[in-house]
Chains A and B, each alone.
Chain A
């Protein structure tokens, strides 16, 4: 699972931009509505005095189990539960098991979604005793699951909450008694549940006006799960083609095809345009990697990756140069970040994402490597949580494995600097006494926001970074 990247970086920016919303929903099931619920929370809390909301814990299914994965929720939010009923299926290190509820009540909120993992004893869902408490439990759950994601900025202002108090009554048995008959296919219903789309609000375009899977996908703002097959060479221009050509771009050449952006690609595009408003400059620096390569050979069997080594080195260098880890949010001030979170660009099928190694300066190399593996796995299965891809304070992009000797990265909005790492290549160097020797050299090129990071800052940072890489023993401490 080689790390790779391109310079067209897209660290999704703050969660209140609209594109991020669709972006987030395509990458992880983190529900945007939950962000909204945060707004009502305080509201509701004042009104309720005390309630019976119980947490459903991740059970220990075996003596060796430390964490469990939610295979599936057998009940949906709002559904009534009777004591002894199976609520959720948990996969432990050994087997899948049904977890039953010990109380009657309503499944008010699912805190840990399907496919996600939680440590033994952690709350995975909330059980409300009465229907009236469902909403409260939901807001409780929202605060639990989204606090990290919301951290960088305050929740969006009133504009995003059109009707606070009656936000969402618990969905009652799919409106079979309503006058309007909604016909949705089995898969459409499944997707709606998965993406938390209210099926009643989706317009059906299928046969007999039924709601199909693609209608739900469109409503959820995600690309169809089945990639459209490459159009046959002589395909007649379709509707999408026609739409694309309405812009002033030159007409399509014959036999060419238009493939619309996926949600992730749209987010990348938007971020790239945004990046043009930041005045950036670049500083390059050659780094001798003989010692690093030797260290890498030693620690590789222990599961340490080059990514972890570079992230650790960058993290340690940033600790000494906080301004490179800062960002300029408003054009008027420095925003110093208390943590050093290194986002690392990874190319994934049809897109690009930047999982974040948090506290890269503090975690040791082995933990960092382990964390990285986990993040890449999650990224590939599209299960990254928002805070796992949008909390970066500095970005690392490495194209060295392709043999690229140097390149120039675009600074992702919201960060102060990005480091582009080229391949390490044997280079003839002359030392101060005039002796020639062959050393492995790697070109590192940092792009930074010149409003806060100046040439000397960046040069000093690079010098520190080079020193750490050239004497890498400190990396393993």
Chain B
């Protein structure tokens, strides 16, 4: 990413550091924009946007900035870049490090660890290697080397993010930011700035239930785990959502045994039941993992005085003591809590709900009286709508659209999600039970199309036939309600479906689109083709053009 950046500078032969990048595809902004339903700009010249030198001047002289964003995570970054593109004078306040959770303590370093675990898993799978005719002698790893890879990646992406904002002239203000009053923000010790609009994008921190004592060594959160300071022989993972699952993939590949502790009756809650059933069969059962479901970890004590980590389990419903576990380490992956303390919300009469800042569908902050706070928005984990990095970024862009005069409501059902286990899990839209419930209420029919990775040539060539793709749709009009994929590169495959949902493309139309053979994308193609839709294909713009 970084090298692409400098390359584009030299190519565009523009020396002004504050000029926006004129060659198009180097910036992460563009990568991100593709996921959303609106087109960036009408002009198709090489320069996509024009800003006044130095991030412009505020359009209203009475403010220091058009837009101030508190928090330079992925959400704030996405909003800042889009704001500059829209000609807003923008500042971003960061009290810690640019990049936030995703880049420094979340998605990014975890992908580095998962890249390692995927390879380890493959190299250790003698049967898999043999079926390729490959011979590999015992695979091993160097823990520090793996940890360094994750750390280096985070640093690299953090620098890319910082540079991309600097290059566009976004003012990066260092210090803890808080809201002083309407359109007024304080950062650092006592710097006060005014802005026409303010976005809160302060994100979240790992949630640690009470009774659990985190020492950062034997009882840890994802923040510690990503540093990979140790690989315990036996680690309990509290919570079997995305974070827990991904870490179970990493730890088991590196030789740990894992015990899941899940409060709900079933592992992997939140996934489509059929997908989680299959995922359990592939990701849990054959691995060195066992689990306790329907239980809370009421008390976790770190290892000390020659004793292992002790975990007391109680029944999730009756609260009766159930069992005590003795393990070498415990990872708390029970979700994330919004980071909204000290934001000065009391100054504008906003009361958080379980820490989350209440917002409406346009991310406008709602105060204690249920009224909208003018010119104040909250995006990302801090509002709790959909705690995903790309959702935060999409919300930020949506807000910028609104403050620049174009009303925009983000449809969260078009936002894909992925879990980067081996193989991956991805989804967009509704799960089957959700769709059936909706159908019942609204009186339409729901159909399911399914295909197996066993039927895909590319997957079989990779010896990775394990997997399932499933589409939930309306047979009457061909609307896609949800797509769930479990299999090789599922996280990359979901976007054809999420784009189709975002653009309102119907199955009867997209099924006519062509996929290269043999590719994994044919798994999704297979879903479209397997669907039985009653309405005929519409006349697409392309076909009109062809007939002209």
User: Does A186 lie within 8 Å of B259, measured CB to CB?
Assistant: yes
Cβ contacts B262-302/A at 8 Å (1 or 0 each): 00000000000000011001000100111000000000000
* Number of chain A interface residues as a range: 20 to 34
**In residues 326-342 of chain B, which contact A (Cβ within 8 Å)?**
326, 328
Chain B residues near A223 (CB-CB < 8 A): none
Cβ distance B126 to chain A, nearest Cβ, rounded Å: 10
Q: CB-CB < 8 A to A187: which residues of B?
A: 257, 288
A458 to B285, CA, bound (A): 54
Chain B residue contacts of A176, Cβ below 8 A: 322-323
Establish whether residues A186 and B281, one from each chain, have CB atoms under 8 Å apart when the complex forms: no
Q: Nearest chain A CB to B438's CB is how many angstroms away?
A: 24
Give the distance in Å from the alpha carbon of A358 to the alpha carbon of B89 in the complex: 85
Q: Are A186 and B288 in contact (CB under 8 A)?
A: yes
Q: A72-B285, A229-B138 are in contact. Are A186 and B234 (CB under 8 A)?
A: yes
Confirm or deny: B233 has a beta carbon within 8 angstroms of a beta carbon on chain A: yes
Determine if A71 is an interface residue (Cβ-Cβ < 8 Å): yes
Known: A185-B234, A190-B290. A208 touches B308 (CB 8 A): yes
Q: Does B457 touch A at the CB level, under 8 Å?
A: no
Contacts of B307 in A (CB 8 A): 208
Given A190-B288, A207-B308: A89 in contact with B281 (beta carbons within 8 A): yes
Bound Cα distance A190, B323 (Å):
19
Q: Mark A348-371, 1 if CB is under 8 A from B, else 0.
A: 000000000000000000000000
B505 at the interface (CB under 8 A from A): no
Among A72, A181, A210, A213, the residue within 8 A (CB) of B281 is A72
Determine the residue in chain A with the shortest Cβ distance to B289: A186
How many B residues touch the partner, as a band? 20 to 34
Q: Which residues 120-151 in B have Cβ within 8 Å of A in the complex?
A: 138
Given contacts A95-B452, A207-B233, are A185 and B257 in contact (CB under 8 A)? yes
B138 contacts A186, C-beta separation under 8 Å: no
Q: What is the CA–CA distance of A95 and B281 in the complex, to the nearest angstrom?
A: 13
B460 CB → nearest A CB, Å? 14
- With most chain B CB atoms within 10 A of its CB, the pick from A94, A187, A189 is A187
Residues of chain A within 8 A of B308, CB atoms compared: 207-208
* Interface 0/1 of A196-229, CB less than 8 Å to B: 0000000000111010010000000000000001
Docked Cα-Cα span, A89 to B307, in Å, equals 40
> Chain B residues near A207 (CB, 8 Å)?
233, 308, 328
In the assembled complex, how far is the CB of residue A400 from the closest CB belonging to chain B, in whole angstroms? 25
Q: How far is the CA of A213 from the CA of B277 in the complex (A)?
A: 26
Cα(A181)–Cα(B324), bound, Å: 9
Inside 8 A of B328's CB, which chain A residues have their CB? 207
Please name all residues of chain A whose beta carbon is closer than 8 Å to the beta carbon of B325 when the two chains form the complex. 183
Instruction: Check A293 for interface membership: any CB of B closer than 8 A.
Output: no
Q: Are B281 and A71 in contact (CB under 8 A)?
A: yes
Q: Which residue of B lies closest to A226 (CB)?
A: B138
B290's partner among A98, A186, A229 (CB-CB below 8 A) is A186
The 8 A CB mask of B211-249 against A (1 = contact, 0 = none) is: 000000000000000000000011000000000000000
Q: Is A297 an interface residue (CB 8 A)?
A: no
Closest residue of chain A to B306 (Cβ to Cβ) is A208
Q: Give the distance to chain B from A24, nearest Cβ to Cβ, in Å.
A: 23
Neighbouring A residues of B257 by C-beta, 8 Å:
185-187
Report the minimum CB–CB distance from B442 to chain A (whole Å): 28
- How near does chain A come to B349, taking the closest CB pair, in angstroms? 51
* A189-B290 contact given A72-B285, A176-B322, A208-B308, CB 8 Å threshold: yes
**A73 vs chain B, min Cβ distance (A):** 10
| A287 CA to B55 CA, complexed, in Å | 94
A255 located at the interface, meaning its Cβ lies under 8 Å from any Cβ of chain B in the complex: no
* B234 proximity list for chain A (CB < 8 A): 185-186, 210
Is B258's beta carbon under 8 Å from chain A? Answer: yes
Nearest chain B CB to A188 CB, angstrom units: 8
A210 touches B326 (CB 8 A): yes
**Shortest distance between the CB of B436 and any CB in chain A (Å):** 17
Chain A binding surface, main DSSP class:
mixed
* C-alpha gap A331/B361 in the complex (Å): 92
What residues of B have a CB within 8 angstroms of the CB of A183 in the complex? Answer: 325-326
Contacts known (A72-B281, A72-B285, A208-B308); A95 close to B454, Cβ less than 8 A:
yes
**Shortest distance between the CB of B230 and any CB in chain A (Å):** 14
CB distance from A208 to the nearest CB of B (A): 5
Q: With a CB–CB cut-off of 8 A, which chain B residues contact A94?
A: 452, 454
A473 contacts B by Cβ under 8 Å: no
Residue of B nearest to A209 (CB): B326
Q: In the complex, what distance in Å separates the CA atom of A98 from the CA atom of B257?
A: 27
Whether B281 and A96, one on each chain, are in contact in the complex, defined by CB atoms closer than 8 angstroms, is: yes
B138 — which chain A residues lie within 8 A by C-beta?
229
Report how far A89 CA is from B259 CA in the complex, Å: 23
* Closest chain A CB from B254 CB (angstroms): 14
Closest to B138 in A: A229
**Bound CA span A330–B233, Å:** 53
From B277, B289, B326, A98 is in contact (CB under 8 Å) with B277
Report Cα–Cα, A395/B328, bound state, in Å. Answer: 52
CB neighbours of B322 from chain A (8 A): 176
CA distance A186 to B290 in the complex (A): 5
Q: How far is the CA of A96 from the CA of B466 in the complex (A)?
A: 9
B278 contacts across to A, CB distance below 8 A: 96
Taken together as a complex, chains A and B put the C-alpha atoms of A353 and B289 apart, in Å, by: 32
1/0 per residue B458-493: CB within 8 Å of A? 000000000000000000000000000000000000
Q: Which of A79-132 contact B (CB under 8 A)?
A: 86, 89, 94-96, 98
**A189 CA / B291 CA spacing, docked (Å):** 11
By a CB distance below 8 angstroms, the chain A residues around B324 are: 181
Minimum CB–CB distance for A61 against chain B, Å: 13
List B residues 26-80 near A (Cβ within 8 Å).
none
A185–B326 alpha-carbon span in the complex (Å): 10
Q: A76 to chain B: closest CB distance in Å?
A: 12
Complex: chain B residue closest to A208, CB-CB: B308
Which residue of chain A has its CB nearest to the CB of B140? A229
Chain B hits for A72, CB < 8 A: 281, 285
Q: By CB atoms of chain A within 10 A, which of B259, B285, B322 has the most?
A: B285
B22 to chain A, nearest CB (A): 51
Bound CA–CA A72/B322 (angstroms) = 27
Q: Which residues of chain B are near A208, meaning CB under 8 Å?
A: 307-308, 326
Please name all residues of chain B whose beta carbon is closer than 8 Å to the beta carbon of A206 when the two chains form the complex.
233
Q: How far is the CA of A278 from the CA of B45 in the complex (A)?
A: 94
Q: Bound complex: CA of A190 vs CA of B328, how far in Å? A: 19
Complex CA–CA separation, A189 to B233 (angstroms) = 15
For residue A176, which residue of chain B has the nearest CB? B323
Complex: how many Å from CA A207 to CA B233? 10
A229 to B137, CA, bound (A): 10
CB-CB under 8 A from A210, the residues of chain B are 234, 326
Query: In the complex the two chains form, what is the Cα distance from A206 to B233 in whole Å?
Result: 10
- Report the bound CA distance from A10 to B324 in whole Å: 47
B323 touching A186 by the CB < 8 A rule? Answer: no
Interface of chain A residues 173 through 188 with chain B (CB within 8 A): 176, 181, 183, 185-187
Minimum Cβ distance to chain B for residue A316 (Å): 36
Q: Can you name 24 A-B residue pairings with CB atoms under 8 Å?
A: A72-B285, A86-B277, A89-B281, A94-B452, A95-B452, A96-B278, A176-B322, A185-B233, A185-B234, A185-B288, A186-B234, A186-B257, A186-B258, A186-B288, A186-B289, A186-B290, A190-B290, A206-B233, A207-B328, A208-B307, A208-B326, A210-B234, A213-B288, A229-B138
Q: A176-B322, A187-B288, A207-B233 are in contact. List 18 more A-B contacts (CB 8 A).
A: A71-B281, A72-B281, A94-B452, A95-B454, A96-B278, A176-B323, A181-B324, A185-B233, A185-B234, A185-B257, A186-B234, A186-B258, A206-B233, A207-B308, A208-B308, A210-B234, A213-B288, A229-B138
A: residues with CB less than 8 A from B are 71-72, 86, 89, 94-96, 98, 176, 181, 183, 185-187, 189-190, 206-208, 210, 213, 229
In the A-B complex, the 10 residue pairs with the smallest Cβ-Cβ separation, listed nearest first, are A186-B290, A187-B288, A186-B257, A185-B257, A187-B257, A208-B308, A183-B326, A185-B234, A95-B452, A186-B288
